[in-house]
Structure 1
């Protein structure tokens, strides 16, 4: 079973490519990474460099454009459309013979058609919720907070929905994402839920939380998409003598005035940190909190579990696919600061619950398996897609 992948930049596809190569299933991976980052990935993942094909042209133009004073959102949208059209056709022209082709959403329409014309299976892989659903959800969220929203270009939405129609099968990482596809009219029989993996060599407990402070940690971009206004409101209402919220990651520029208006007492912003340092923040926290509005399957949840860190999250993070409410963590409704505050209080007041959840996290993440398990499940989906395409 020879599999070709295409992805924008890195995402989870490099971890998948590494495992597929070790299993003898990787034919080629296409990426929009620049060649020097592809070389770095080749060295780190131990994938031969000639199996990684790069096309950084339009990705590079957009990155340079964002630094120019005259570069507008309209210009960026048009270049994003050109990038998608060009990249997808480039993958299609260079697609080697394979049994199955797996393209991350937006990258694979033309290559998928080429693969199917040869009798191979075409798998569309989507990391977030269905694109139209995501656009509507985020638009609604920005309206709630009276903030401007930059909608997804209509052509990009239509392109991804064409991919979903064209694909032999669709892979998503959580049941929450699957439901958003169904809600937008995709045949449920085409969708396969395959949760991501985690490297237990990279993420593991490095210590324990301190006793005299109840510490919550947030990891990711601090933005409306991640539900941070509700987090700050909930944390502000959380009555605890020694509370602390650590924010690891960048803060979206457009949300800074809103953050300041809610207040950031007892909140520490550490910014971006090296990937190797994330496990230290997770290990030192009593819980990871992730109140997202729109997400596929937040990888940091699996990383937290590998560090023995309980989770407080909304269903919109894909949490219900990963763990059981009340066992490895607490699942609370989205856009509900009161429910978040109650979850904080519940964990802060019950040390035995926290410790039990920590142990349960470590046990569950081992049962879920790492990236090799994810890769084996993807190979099974690829074999199914191949069999369907051959009929």
Structure 2
């Protein structure tokens, strides 16, 4: 089966491309990566460079614009529309013959129509909650914390919903995301849940947590979307004589004043680290905490589990698709700092529970099957999508 993909930047699609190539299915992957990053991914993931096609022009314009003092979010939103329109049409013009086309949300409307006209299946792949749902929940969050809100451009919402209507099938990484599509009117039978994988060669225990303190780790962008205010409020209320919260990742500029107002005592910000170093931070933490309010299936959860690190997360991270509450970690209500603080206390005070969860994580992650199982799931959906198209012709 010949499969074509399109993505914006790396996301999970490069991992999928590697597996599809090894399985003999990858025909082409379109990206908005600059050529030098495509070269790097080609070398590291062993995907032939000739199978990676790049269109960095508008992505580059937006990145350069973001460094200028007069560049506003309103301007970026308008450029995002232009970028999306041109990128989708560019993929459609260059789409090779294939059996199925998998387009990450926003990129695939025109190419999807072309693919279906040739008898190929079109799969819309959405990595986070349905776009209208995401826009609403993030708007609510910004209003709650009195922060400026820049809504998703209406055209971008309409475009993704047109993709969902046009697609033969829709793939999402978690049941949380599936429910957001259903709530927005998508037929359940059109949605396939295919959870992401994790590389056990890349992520595994390399050290152990310290005995002289209780350490939590957060990995990702420290932002409103990730539930940061609730995390800081919970950590502040968490009563422990020697606690530590390690933040690995970039801190969003918009929430710096909010972070300072809540307080960052015993919080250590290490910034962005090389991907290869993430496993050290996960291995030396007693638990990963991820209180997101909007997400798809946060990859760092499986990465933490592969390092033997229990997970404290909300259902909005896709956690319920990945692990069981009370077994590999604790799943707590979103936007609930009291529930978070209680989870911190429980894991900190119960060494036996912590050790049991750590062992359960290592066992559970073996069952996930890695990226190959994810790719096999996507190939199965691709076959199904093609059959659906052929049945209507």
Normalization by structure 2: what TM-score? 0.99
Name 1:366's counterpart in structure 2: 366
Q: Distance in 1 between matches of 2:57 and 2:210?
A: 48
Distance in structure 2 (CA, Å) of the matches to 1:70 and 1:207 = 46
* Distance (whole Å) between structure 1 residues aligned to residue 279 and residue 94 of structure 2: 39
* CA deviation map 1:30-88 (0-9, x unaligned): 00001111111111111111100000010011011111222222221111100000000
CA distance in 2, matches of 1:63, 1:206: 36
User: In structure 1, what is the equivalent of residue 196 of structure 2?
Assistant: 196
Structural mapping, 1:23-42, within 5 Å = 23-42=23-42
2:293 alignment partner, SS class: coil
Partners in 2 of 1:149 and 1:60 — Cα distance? 24
The answer on whether the counterparts of 2:74 and 2:150 sit within 8 Å (CA) in structure 1 is: no
User: Aligned partners of 2:72 and 2:337: how far apart in 1?
Assistant: 35
Distance 2:26 2:116 in 1: 18
Tell me the distance in 2 between the aligned counterparts of 1:366 and 1:69: 48
1:136 and 2:111 aligned: no
State the match for 1:147 in structure 2: 147
**Any gaps of 5 or more consecutive residues in structure 2?**
none
Equivalent in the alignment of 1:80: 80
CA distance in 2, matches of 1:160, 1:98: 22
What SS does the aligned partner of 1:294 have?
Answer: coil
Structure 1, unpaired ranges of 5+: none
Q: Could you say what secondary structure the match of 1:186 adopts? A: coil
Q: Name 1:229's counterpart in structure 2.
A: 229
Q: Deviations over 1:7-35 (max 9, x none)?
A: 00110000000000000000000000011
Tell me the residue number matched to 1:318: 318
**Which deviates more from structure 2 when the two are superposed, residues 282-291 or residues 69-78?**
69-78
SS of structure 1 residue aligned to 2:53: strand
Equivalent residue for 1:125? 125
Q: For residues 81-123 of structure 1, give each alpha carbon's deviation from its aligned partner in whole angstroms, at most 9, with x where no partner exists.
A: 0000000000000000000000000000000000000010000
Structure 1 position 293, deviation (Å): 0.4
- Alpha-carbon distance in structure 1 between the residues aligned to 2:383 and 2:37: 31
Give the whole-Å Cα distance in 2 for the aligned partners of 1:95 and 1:364: 39
CA distance in structure 2 between the partners assigned to 1:275 and 1:356 by the alignment: 27
Q: TM-score, normalised by structure 1?
A: 0.99
Instruction: Give the 3-state SS of the residue equivalent to 2:17 in structure 1.
Output: helix
Equivalence for 1:164: 164
Corresponding position of 1:92 = 92
Query: How many corresponding residue pairs?
Result: 391
Secondary structure, counterpart of 1:225 in structure 2: coil
* SS in structure 2 of the partner of residue 330 of structure 1: strand
Q: Alignment partner of 1:282: what SS?
A: helix
Q: How does 1:345-356 map to 2 (within 5 A)?
A: 345-356=345-356
Q: Give the aligned partner of residue 329 of structure 2.
A: 329
Deviations 1:333-386 (A, max 9, x none): 000000001000000110000000000001000001100110011000000001
In the other structure, the counterpart of 1:266 is: 266
CA distance in structure 2 between the partners assigned to 1:139 and 1:236 by the alignment:
25
